[in-house]
Structure 1
Amino acid sequence: MKNYRIGIFGLGTVASGLIKILKKEKINYQNRFNVNFELSQVVVHDLQKKRAPEFDGLNISDDPAKIIEDPAIDIVIELIGGKTVAKNIIEESLQTGKHVITANKDLIASEGRKLSRLAKEKHVGLFYEAAVAGGIPILRSLSNSLASDEIEQINGIVNGTSNFILSQMRQNKISYAAALKTAQEKGFAEADPSNDVDGIDAAYKLQILADFTFGKQINQRDIQMGGIRTITQADLQDVTDLGYEIKLLASATVISNKLELSVAPTLVPKGHPLASVQNENNAVFVNGRYSGGLMFYGPGAGEFPTANSVAADLIELTKKIDQPESFNTNFSSDLTLAKPKDRIASRYIVFNVANRPGVMHKLSAFFLMSDINFRNIRQYDPVGDNTRVVIITYPASDAQLNPVKTTIRKARGVEIIHEFKLLIEPKEVTNA
C-alpha cells in the first residue's frame, strides 16, 4: 500500500467536497488503487471563519509554510483561486519537489506553460482537470482517448451561470435582469456577475483548451468576445421560431492551418446536442477528423462534480508517480491566428430601422456592396417611428461584414442592436 500525505490550500466549496470524497472513498481507493491518502494539513486565509462540525478534526492553519515546508507532504492541492497568491503557492510547492493539483482556471490560462515547465524540471506532476468544465473529464479525454485524432473544432458551454440565465429566460419568459436575480439567489451568480455574463470565465477555459488541444498559447485579446447582457425575449422568440437556441459558446476552430477563437452568444440548431444543454450544466462538443462529433456533458460547477475532478487527478497522479509529468501536453503547433478574412460564419443581426420609405432598400444595398446574401429576413410591426428588423446572412467573413457595419454606423435611420454568429462546422466553412 502506497501512502500519500496531502496538503490542501483553501476550505471553500470544492475543497469541502474533496475532503468529503476522500473520507467516504478511503477504503474504496485502498482496495481499487492500492493507495492511502492522508490529509495532513489544510491552510486557509481566515482561521476565525465558522466551519462545519465535520471539519473539526482537521489540522487547519493560516501559515502556508505548514504545507510548503513540510517534507512529509507529497501532494499539494491548490483550491483558493486567484493569481498572485496561488501562483506563489504552486511555484514554491513545485520547487520543493511536491506534486500539485489545482482547479485554478485563471492562473493556468495565463501561466500554465511556465508552471508545466517548472514541474517537468523538478520531476513532479502538475494536473488541472478541474480548471475546465467542472466535473467533465474533457482534458483527460483529449490527452488519452482522442490523442490519436486530429481535432478540428471545439465548441463548449463552459460557464454554468450564463447557461442557467439563458435557460431561465427562455423557459420562464423572463428578462435578463430577472433571470440574473434568480441565479444570484440560487448561488449560481456572484453579486458582480461580470466574469460569467461577459464571457471572461469562459475565455480563461478556452485559453486552456486551445493550448492543450492545439498547442497554441493565446491571450484573451486573441479571442473575439461577447456576453449575454443584451439578449432579450424578442431575440429568444426570433431564434426559437427560426429553429435555434442561443448559447454562450467558447469556440476554437481550425481551418486551413488557422485558428479562430471566440466566446460569444451563438445560435445553435435545435437538432444539435449542445442545444439541449440547460441550466447550470456544461458541455463540450469535439469535432475530430476521424472520430467525428463527440459530446462531453455534465455539471460544470458545484461541490462534488469539481471536487471529483480533483480526486480523479489524484488517482491519475499516483499511477504515474514514478514518471510524473505535467498535465499540459507541452507541444507547440505552427497554427496561426485567423484574420478577418478567415473568420467565416452566418450572422444573426438585429437592426433598429426608421419606419420610412427607402430605408430597407438602403439596408439591403449595404450588404450587396460586400456580396453578402440573406438567408432569412424579418421585419416587425413598427413601434413609434422605428421597426425591428432581423437578418440571418449566408456565410460571410468578418472582412466582408466589417465595411457594412462601418457604413451602417455612419448612415441615418439604421442602427445595429447586436450581432451573433450561427454555429458553423469546419466543413461548412471550407465549402463557404
Structure 2
Amino acid sequence: MKHIKIGLLGLGNIGKGVWNIVENNKDKVENYLGNSLEIKKILVRNIHKNRDINVPEEILTTNPKEIIQDPEIDIIVEVIGGIDTAFEYIKESFQNGKHVVTANKAVIATHGDILHKLAKASGVSLRYEASVGGGIPIINTLTQSLSANKFDEIVGIINGTTNYILTQMSDFGMDFNEALKLAQEKGYAEADPTSDIEGEDAAFKLSILISEAFGIRISPKDIPREGITKISKKDIEYASQLGYKIKLFATAKKDENNFKFYVHPTLIPINHPLASVSNEFNALFIRGNAVGELMLYGKGAGSMPTGSAVVGDILEIGKLIETDYKAQSTDSFKETDLNIIGEGIGQYYIHTEVIDEPGVLGKIASTFSRYDISLKSVVQRARGNHFVPLIFITHEVDRSQLDKALEEIKSNGLVNEIASILRVENL
C-alpha cells in the first residue's frame, strides 16, 4: 500500500475540516484509493497557539519551504486564502512537481489561466472544487457529469453570508445591521464582511463558473456587481407583497447572441425553488441544452462541508498518482459567437422616496416614458408624511438607459431618495 503524503498550507476553518476528515475517515479513504493518506506537515503562523483540534505539534511549521520543497510530499493543499502569497505558494509547488488542491476562489478567479498553464507545464494537477459552493460538487458537475452540454444559464446563490443576512431580514424582520451582527456572532460573517456584503466574493466565484461552463474568461473586476447593504426591511416587505423574495444572485446567461453576467440583489418569484434557499445554504440553478433544468443545493461554507470538497479533490488526484498521468489541456470550448455585454437589459425594482404632493407620479412616469422605459407595476404607499415610498417595477430596459432616467428624476427636486434598485427575474 502506497502512503500518499500531503502538505497542508493553513490550519484555519477549512484546514481543520481537512484534518478531521482525513483522520476520522481513514478506512473509507483507504478502501476508495487502495492507498493511505497522511498529512505530513502543516503550515501555521504560530506553532504554540491553542487550537480546538488535536494535531501533533511536531508536524507544524512556520516555514513553507519545509512543505513545498519536501520530496516526500505528493499533494499540496492551499487553504490560507488571499491572492498574492497563495499564488506564489501554488506556483512554487508546481515547480517542485507537486499536485495542488485549493479552496481559494480569489486566486483561481484572478490567476486561474496562469496556474493552469503552469500545472500543465509541470505535468501535475490543479483542482479547486471547494472554491465555489463549499461542499456542493459544482465544478465537477459542470466539467464532468454535464460535460456534453452547452449551457444556456447558470444562476444562483453562491454566498452564504449574504443569504443568511437576507433570511434573517425576511423571516424575522431584522434590519440589515441587526442581521449582519447576528451573522458575525454565528461565524457566518467575517469581522470585516466587506467582500461578502458588497458582492466581491460572489463575483470571484461567478468568474470561475463562467470559465468552467462557457469557456469565457471574465475577470472578477469586470463583472458588474452590487451588494446588499442598501436593502431595507421595507424592500423585503414590498417584495413579499408583490410575490417575490430578495436574494443576492450571481447570474450568467445566454440571451440570443448576447452573454450577460452580473452579481446583483434580485427579486425572484416566491414559488421558485431558489426562493426557499435559506440561511448559509447555497444553490445553483443550471439550464443545459441536453440535461434541461436542474438545481444543486447544499451548505456553501463551513469547516466540514468545504473540507469535504477539498478531500474529494485529494482523492481524485490520489487515484492518478500511480498512473501515467499527464495534465490535460485547459483550452476550453468557447462561445465565440456571443457578444460579451455584462449586465445588459432586464427588469428592475426601483424604490423611491418622493414628496407627498399631487402630480409627482405623473411627472416621474413621463420622464420614464421619454427614455422609452415602460412600467409593469407602480405601488404608492401610505400618505401623510412629507416623503412617501413609490415603488416601480419596469419592463425590460437597458441598465444604462435606466440610470440616465433616474438621474433626471433625481434632479427634478421631487425625489428625496432612490433607496434601492434591484433586478427582477421571472425564472
Give the shorter-chain TM-score range: over 0.9
Query: For each residue in 1:352-396, what CA deviation from the matched residue of structure 2 results, as whole angstroms up to 9, or x when unmatched?
Result: 111122211101111212332222111012353211000111222
Q: Residue 430 of structure 1 aligns with which residue? A: none
Asked if residue 410 in structure 1 is aligned to residue 411 in structure 2, the reply is yes
**Counterpart in 1 of 2:112?**
112
Residue by residue over 1:16-44, the C-alpha shift from the partner in whole angstroms, topping out at 9 and shown as x without a partner, is: 11111111211222123212112111111
Aligned amino acid, residue 160 of structure 1: G
Distance apart, 1:257 and its partner CA: 3.3
**1:328 Cα deviation from its structure 2 partner:** 5.7
Which residue number corresponds to residue 422 of structure 1?
Answer: 424
Question: Hey, what does 1:270 align to over in structure 2?
Answer: 270
Alignment-derived partner of residue 101 in structure 1:
101
- Quote how far apart the aligned CAs of 1:253 are: 1.2
Rate the CA distance shift 1:58–1:267 in 2: closer, same or farther, 3 A: farther
Paired amino acid for 1:230: K
Shift of 1:8: 0.5
**Quick check: 1:212–1:329 contact (8 Å CA) kept in 2?**
no
Contact preservation (8 Å) 2:16, 2:53: no
User: How far apart are the structure 1 equivalents of 2:111 and 2:56?
Assistant: 35
The secondary structure found in structure 1 opposite 2:218 is coil
1:142 and 1:193 map into 2 onto residues whose CA distance is 29
SS in 2 for 1:224: coil
Give the letter for the 1:375 counterpart. K
**TM-fit CA distance, 1:309:** 0.1
Aligned-pair distance for 1:189? 1.0
Q: Which amino acid aligns with 1:389?
A: L
Distance 1:113-1:145 versus aligned 2 partners, 3 A rule: same
Deviates more, 1:131-140 or 1:348-357: 348-357
Instruction: Tell me the alpha carbon deviations over residues 29-61 of structure 1, each in whole angstroms, 9 at most, x when there is no partner.
Output: 212321211211111122231134611265111
Match of 1:190 in 2: 190
In 2, are the aligned partners of 1:212 and 1:328 still within 8 Å (CA)? no
CA distance in 2, matches of 1:104, 1:423: 30
Asked if residue 134 in structure 1 is aligned to residue 137 in structure 2, the reply is: no
Q: Trace 1:51-200 onto structure 2 (pairs within 5 A).
A: 51-52=51-52, 54-56=54-56, 59-200=59-200
Q: Distance in 2 between matches of 1:403 and 1:238?
A: 25
Query: Cα distance, 1:420 vs. partner?
Result: 0.5
1:351-370 aligned at under 5 Å gives the runs: 351-370=352-371
Q: Greater CA deviation, 13-22 or 370-379? A: 370-379
Q: For residues 175 and 327 of structure 1, do their structure 2 counterparts lie closer, same or farther at Cα, with a shift above 3 Å needed?
A: farther
1:208-252 per-residue CA deviation (whole Å, 9 max, x = no partner) reads 111111111112332121111111111111111111110001111
Q: Secondary structure, in 3 states, of the residue corresponding to 2:54?
A: helix
Unaligned runs of 5+ in 1: 426-432
Deviation at 1:403, TM superposition (A): 2.9
Structure 2 distance, partners of 1:373, 1:282, is: 34
Q: 1:304 to 1:53 in 2, by over 3 A?
A: closer
* Alpha-carbon distance in structure 2 between the residues aligned to 1:286 and 1:360: 39
1:98-143 Cα deviation digits (max 9, x unpaired): 1000001111110011000000111100000001110111000000
Q: What does the per-residue CA deviation read over 1:159-194, in whole Å, with 9 as the maximum and x for residues that have no partner? A: 111100110111111111111111111111112211
* 2:224/2:342 contact within 8 Å kept: no
Please show how residues 13-412 of structure 1 align to structure 2 within 5 Å: 13-52=13-52, 54-56=54-56, 59-321=59-321, 322-325=324-327, 330-334=332-336, 335-338=338-341, 343-412=344-413
* Bigger mean CA deviation after superposition, 406-415 or 105-114: 406-415
Q: Distance in 2 between matches of 1:311 and 1:58?
A: 23
Contact (CA 8 Å) 1:7, 1:39: kept in 2 or not? yes
**Counterpart amino acid of 2:82?**
G
CA distance in structure 2 between the partners assigned to 1:410 and 1:336 by the alignment: 34
CA contact (8 A) 2:120 2:329 kept: no
Gap runs ≥5 in structure 2: none
Taking only the aligned residue pairs, the percentage that are identical comes to 39
Shift of 1:281: 0.6
Query: In the alignment, is the contact (CA less than 8 A) between 1:155 and 1:286 conserved in 2?
Result: yes
Cα shift at 1:330: 4.2
TM-score scaled by length of structure 1: 0.94
Amino acid at match of 1:138: I
Residues in 2 aligned to 1:187 and 1:244: alpha-carbon distance in whole angstroms: 28
RMSD: 1.7
Q: Post-superposition shift, 1:289?
A: 2.0
Give me the TM-score of the superposition, normalised by structure 2.
0.95
CA distance in 2, matches of 1:382, 1:140: 54
Whole-angstrom CA distance in 2 between matches of 1:357 and 1:49 = 67
Note the C-alpha offset of 1:267: 0.5
Q: 8 Å contact 1:352–1:389 — kept in the other structure?
A: yes
Shift of the alpha carbon at 1:296? 0.5
